[in-house]
A and B are shown apart, each in its own frame.
Chain A
Amino acid sequence: MEPALKIPDKGSPKPELKRRPDGSDPADDPAAPQIKMFAKSLRAWFGPAEALRGITLPIRKNCVTAIIGPSGCGKSTFVRCLNRMHEVVPLARVEGEVYLDAENIYGPSINPIAVRKRIGMVFQKANPFPTMSIRQNVLAGLSLQGLRCRAPEELVENALRKAALWDEVKDILDRSGVSLSGGQQQRLCIARALALEPEVLLMDEPCSALDPIATAKIEDLIHELRESYTVVIVTHNMQQAARVADFTAFFYLGELIEYGKTETIFKTPQDPRTEAYITGRFG
């Protein structure tokens, strides 16, 4: 349990953390894990185009939640809204609420930079900083925030170990981050995010540019990360969702069509559109 559950100010409703939020959560049962994040009526725009049309979705603690759906369904936009990255793009706009523990990260006087320090993110295309070495890349989050670290070597090793990259790079830590292969670069980006000890890790199609072997490594990694992190992964690959996720949400045209335990979604989908998508009839 988090020690400081603060109630958001000015009558904005406190999310009912333990209860079925609005009936759209068939996965809810008394044994279900605690909710770490909660999106409520989340709407997002790029200029005039509405990318998300009111999403309400819980993200459960120490679980992997997969977001699936055909391209253009708003799944990437959704995870970018979870750490306030959506607004980095010009003309992008967000409405609604997203709770991290009990605090609305879109509330007034919330500093988006502080939000991003607690919610890490890995992008579709590996993006290590080309001007930094592997070591500097891992420490980038700390040095960018101007934090001093007592034992940097230990931190680098821990983060790289967690990202299952340590054995491959321990002797070349001073080489440029972009000298690694694509899969290694992506794991370096994961290590970079993990070095900050985030509470939630968002992954936006982390394997879409990787070969099957690299993909398998990252999927194993996600399995392990679940122990200590809450993970949200966007994927266009349904097998991947089935392999790594505890819960799965299906998005279509900016709306949440169905959410539930992964096996429920894949075995007994309720909505015909979900069924059509997972059986490969569109998308």
Chain B
Amino acid sequence: MSSETAIPRSVAARIPLRAPRSLRERLVGVVLLVCAACSVITTLGIVLVLIVETTAFFREVSFRQFFGDIQWTPLFAKKHFGIWALVSGTVLTSAIAILTAVPLGLMAAAYLSEFANERIRRLLKPSMEILAGIPTVVYGYFALTFMTPLLQKFIPSLAGFNALSPGLVMGIMIFPTVASLSEDAMYAVPTSLREAAYALGATRLATTFRVVMPSAFSGIGASVILGVSRAIGETMIVAIAAGQQPRFTFDPRVPVETMTAYIVQVSLGDTPTGTLEYRTIFAVGMVLFVFTLALNVVAHRLRQGVLKDSVQ
């Protein structure tokens, strides 16, 4: 027995093995579970808020008025609730953004994954991330005060507020999302597939387009869908540069209003809570939420598929 130590052996030996699990351990577990549950509560909160207010909205406005009209004038005396006017604005700006971001993003991804060396890759990927980190209100300023005047030199009929300029800027904003996720998917394609193609005499270019890109299809698809989802939910760029005139059009030169811009417009005004006008933003928000959620779920499924494939 060691009698010279600060803790005599007898103390250690007396530690009862049957000591109950400490209360603190259980308490901490509960507190941490509550923290983790906060994210679930947030989701439930969002869904609940949207459902409650949207239900109240549809008590006064019929589905037919909502889905069967192409005019959106809830803030005017003669009210129309045709959501398609806002949806067309969203679809138009998002389509322009996607048409900008996807070709650029895929080319960039192909280059970084298949042609660039490691040094260039490590330099360029973070630089692209800067683009995704710029606040959207800054992009909005850029679209309104730089891009639109620039484009007007080439397209004289372009209005001061239009869908084209914010669409293009939004494309630049989501370019890193598309490029980075596509690059991940292409980079993950097994080398053996490339070897097989080279063994058949294929060039690097042909291998990239015929072998790598098809193999990474679901990952690339997921990146595009996430890009679309971000474009649809993007608010400040379109609120600043696309205008506030809901209209059912696919002309990129004229002012339009997106779903997000409408929500901003109403909340900037002095709309009293509890009125029909106030509830419109929740109805629009519901449409927006359903759209983006559906896209995110599809993208998630596609990426899960990628993971499963790469395990095999």
Contacts and interface: CB of A to CB of B under 8 A. Distances in A.
A205 interface: no
Interface of A: 2, 100, 103, 105, 109-111, 113-115, 117-118, 142, 149-152, 154-155, 158-159, 196-199, 228
Contacts of B21: 111, 113
B12 A109 contact: no
B6 A154 contact: yes
B6 A152 contact: yes
B5 A158 contact: yes
A118 B4 contact: no
Given A196-B12, A197-B11, A114 B6 contact: no
Contacts of B7: 142, 149, 155, 196-197
Interface in B1-45: 1-2, 4-9, 11-13, 15-22
Contacts of A150: 6
B9 to A, nearest CB: 5
Contacts of A105: 17
Given A110-B18, A155-B5, 17 more contacts: A110-B17, A111-B17, A111-B18, A111-B21, A113-B21, A113-B22, A114-B17, A117-B12, A117-B15, A118-B17, A151-B6, A158-B2, A196-B7, A196-B12, A197-B8, A197-B12, A198-B12
14 contacts: A2-B13, A111-B19, A111-B20, A113-B21, A117-B12, A118-B12, A118-B13, A142-B7, A151-B6, A155-B7, A159-B5, A196-B7, A196-B12, A197-B5
Chain B contact residues: helix, strand, loop or mixed: loop
B2 A114 contact: no
A155 B6 contact: yes
Contacts of A100: 17
A197 B8 CA distance: 8
A183 B310 CA distance: 41
A107 to B, nearest CB: 8
Contacts of A155: 5-7
